[in-house]
C-alpha cells in the first residue's frame, strides 16, 4: 500500500432523528419489504452472538456475529444503548462485513447494552427484538504465555530474588548477563535490607535486548552482603520480540510481497490462513486503530524508542484501545483480507522514529520477521 490516507476512520456517532430513537425504547422491529416485483426483500435479524459468551452478550472490542436474512451488502449497524439517542453508536460496514445470512462487526468501545439495528443494502432496516448485553472488554489474550522463552516487553518477566543480610558493599549490583559473550547488559542496585526482587522485562534502555540466553546474578561485591534465593539463579531465553503470525504462514518471497517491490510497497506481506491470530511483536502504545479503504482494519503501535509498527488487512477492528499499552505477545487481531488485499495476509510496516506518518520513514520488515520466525 502506498499513499496511505488515514483520514477515513470508522465508528462515527450518528445523530438519529427522533422517530428512529423511539424504536430504541421498545417498538418491535424488522419491517420487511413486501416483496413486490423488482424490490429486493429487506433484512431480518434473528440472533446476535460473540465467541465465548452467552447468546446476546458481547464484550467491547469483540467481533459480533448477527444472523438473519437478506443481509448481503448491509450498510451499517447501530447500537442503540439505553439512553435515548444520546448514546447511539453507528458503525459503517465494509463490503466484506456481510453475507446473505451474517453481518460481522466489532462492538465499539463506546457501545452500551441495548437493541441493535442493521441497515440493509437498500436502506431498509431490521432491529433486534432483544437487547444485546454489552460487557467490559475481555482481558488481553497473551499468545506468548505457553512459550518456554521469555519475550522482551512480554507479560511474563524474568524474576530474581535475593536476601540482604550483611553490610552494604560499594558497587553491589544485580546483573543481567548474556550467555554468548558474558556481557552485562543491565544492572540494578540492591535493596538496603531484607528480601530484594528484580523483575526484568528484557529491555535495555528503550530497546529490547538481543535474543539469547541470559542469567540474572549477584556481582562479586553483592555476594558479600546478599544471598541468592534458591531457584532464582537459572538461565533463561529472552527474545527480542515475538513472531506475529500464530499459525502456519509463508514469509514474503515474491517481489510484490517484499518491501519496495517497484511500487512503493511500504511493508512486507506474509500469507497465512484467514483467521490466524496476530500478536504484537513488541510492546508499545496503540496510536491508531481504525478502518481504511486500502489498509482495511489496521493498528499502529508506537514503541518506547519512538519507532512504530503497523498491521493491516485484519479481520476486525483490534480490541486494543487507542492510548492503551500493549505487551509483546498480546493478541491484536486476526489475519484477513479487509481493504485492498488479494488473499489473507499480514501486511506489516516498520517505521523509524518519530513513527508512522509522524515524520518517520518506512523500512524493510523482512529481516526482523525472519529473525523472529526462527525463534518464536
Q: Where are the alpha helices (DSSP H) in 78-229?
A: 220-223
Contact 256, 265 (CB under 8 A): yes
**Least distance (Å) between residue 341 CB and Zn ion:** 8
Q: Which set of grid coordinates corresponds to residue 206?
A: 528503550
For 93-157, where are the E strands, in sequence order?
A: 102-106, 116-119, 125-127, 133-135, 150-151
Query: What residues contact 313, with CB distance under 8 A and at least 6 apart?
Result: 295, 296, 297, 298, 335, 336, 337, 338, 339, 341, 344, 345, 346, 347
Q: Which of 98, 104, 83 lies closest to 13, judged by CA?
A: 83
Q: Which set of grid coordinates corresponds to residue 145?
A: 504465555
Q: Which residue lies nearer to Zn ion by CB, 214 or 243? A: 243
**Least distance (Å) between residue 186 CB and Zn ion:** 36
Q: Which residue lies nearer to Zn ion by CB, 186 or 313? A: 313
For Zn ion, which stretch binds (CB under 5 A), given 98-106, 136-144, 265-273, 322-330? 265-273
For Zn ion, which stretch binds (CB under 5 A), given 202-210, 268-276, 326-334, 355-363? 268-276
**Least distance (Å) between residue 318 CB and Zn ion:** 18
Q: Is 349 in the site for Zn ion (CB under 5 A)?
A: no
Q: Which residue lies nearer to Zn ion by CB, 48 or 299? A: 299
Q: Which residue lies nearer to Zn ion by CB, 108 or 333? A: 333
Contact 260, 268 (CB under 8 A): no
From residue 59 to residue 98, the character string flagging contacts with Zn ion as x (rule: CB under 5 A) and all else as - is ----------------------------------------
Residue 222, classed as helix, strand or coil, is helix
Q: What is the DSSP letter of 232?
A: -
**Least distance (Å) between residue 347 CB and Zn ion:** 3
Q: What is the DSSP letter of 184?
A: E
**Least distance (Å) between residue 17 CB and Zn ion:** 41
- Residues 305-344 touching Zn ion, rule: CB under 5 A, are none
Q: Which residues pair with 284 in a beta bridge?
A: 326
- Applying CB under 5 A, the site for Zn ion has a residue count of 3
Q: Is 347 in the site for Zn ion (CB under 5 A)?
A: yes
For Zn ion, which stretch binds (CB under 5 A), given 56-64, 188-196, 263-271, 327-335? 263-271
* Rounded Cα gap, residues 113 and 193, in angstroms: 52
Q: Which residue lies nearer to Zn ion by CB, 154 or 362? A: 362
* Rounded Cα gap, residues 116 and 190, in angstroms: 57
Q: Which residue lies nearer to Zn ion by CB, 196 or 267? A: 267
Residue closest to Zn ion when measured from CB atoms: 347
Q: Which residue lies nearer to Zn ion by CB, 143 or 269? A: 269
Q: Is 269 in the site for Zn ion (CB under 5 A)?
A: yes
User: CB 13: neighbour CB atoms within 10 A?
Assistant: 12
Q: Which set of grid coordinates corresponds to residue 96?
A: 466484506
* Rounded Cα gap, residues 198 and 304, in angstroms: 21
**Least distance (Å) between residue 321 CB and Zn ion:** 25
From residue 162 to residue 191, the character string flagging contacts with Zn ion as x (rule: CB under 5 A) and all else as - is ------------------------------
**Least distance (Å) between residue 131 CB and Zn ion:** 40
Q: Which residues bind Zn ion (CB under 5 A)?
A: 267, 269, 347
Amino acid at each position: 500500500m502506498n499513499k496511505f490516507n488515514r483520514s477515513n476512520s470508522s465508528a462515527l456517532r450518528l445523530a438519529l432523528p427522533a422517530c428512529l430513537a423511539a424504536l430504541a425504547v421498545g417498538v418491535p422491529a424488522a419491517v420487511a419489504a413486501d416483496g413486490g416485483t423488482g424490490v429486493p426483500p429487506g433484512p431480518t435479524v434473528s440472533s446476535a452472538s460473540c465467541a465465548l459468551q452467552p447468546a446476546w452478550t458481547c464484550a467491547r472490542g469483540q467481533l459480533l456475529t448477527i444472523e438473519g436474512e437478506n443481509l448481503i451488502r448491509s450498510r451499517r449497524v447501530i447500537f442503540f444503548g439505553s439512553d435515548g439517542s444520546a448514546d447511539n453508536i453507528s458503525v459503517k460496514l465494509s463490503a466484506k462485513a456481510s453475507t446473505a445470512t451474517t453481518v460481522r462487526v466489532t462492538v465499539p468501545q463506546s457501545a452500551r447494552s441495548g437493541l441493535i439495528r442493521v441497515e440493509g443494502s437498500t436502506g431498509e432496516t431490521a432491529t433486534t427484538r432483544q437487547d444485546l448485553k454489552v460487557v467490559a472488554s475481555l482481558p488481553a489474550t497473551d499468545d506468548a504465555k505457553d512459550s518456554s522463552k521469555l519475550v522482551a516487553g512480554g507479560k511474563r518477566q524474568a524474576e530474581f530474588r535475593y536476601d540482604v543480610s550483611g553490610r552494604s558493599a560499594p558497587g553491589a549490583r544485580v546483573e543481567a548477563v548474556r550467555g554468548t559473550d558474558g556481557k552485562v547488559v543491565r544492572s540494578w542496585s540492591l535493596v538496603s535490607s531484607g528480601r530484594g526482587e528484580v523483575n526484568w522485562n528484557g529491555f535495555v534502555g528503550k530497546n529490547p535486548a538481543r535474543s539469547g540466553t541470559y542469567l540474572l546474578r549477584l556481582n562479586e561485591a553483592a555476594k558479600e552482603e546478599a544471598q541468592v534465593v534458591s531457584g532464582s539463579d537459572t538461565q533463561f531465553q529472552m527474545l527480542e520480540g515475538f513472531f506475529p503470525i500464530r499459525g502456519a504462514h509463508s514469509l514474503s518471497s515474491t517481489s510484490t510481497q517484499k518491501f519496495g517491490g517497484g511500487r512503493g510497497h511500504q511493508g512486507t506481506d506474509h500469507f497465512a490462513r484467514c483467521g490466524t491470530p496476530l500478536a504484537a511483536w513488541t510492546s508499545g502504545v496503540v496510536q491508531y486503530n481504525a478502518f481504511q479503504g486500502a489498509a482495511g482494519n489496521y493498528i499502529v503501535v508506537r514503541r518506547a524508542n519512538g519507532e512504530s509498527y503497523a498491521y493491516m488487512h485484519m479481520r476486525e477492528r483490534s480490541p486494543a484501545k487507542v492510548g492503551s499499552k500493549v505487551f509483546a505477545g498480546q493478541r491484536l487481531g486476526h489475519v484477513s483480507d479487509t481493504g485492498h488485499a488479494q488473499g489473507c495476509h499480514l501486511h506489516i510496516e516498520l517505521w523509524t522514529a518519530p513513527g508512522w506518518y509522524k515524520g518517520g520513514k518506512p523500512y524493510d520488515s523482512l529481516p526482523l520477521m525472519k529473525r523472529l520466525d526462527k525463534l518464536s
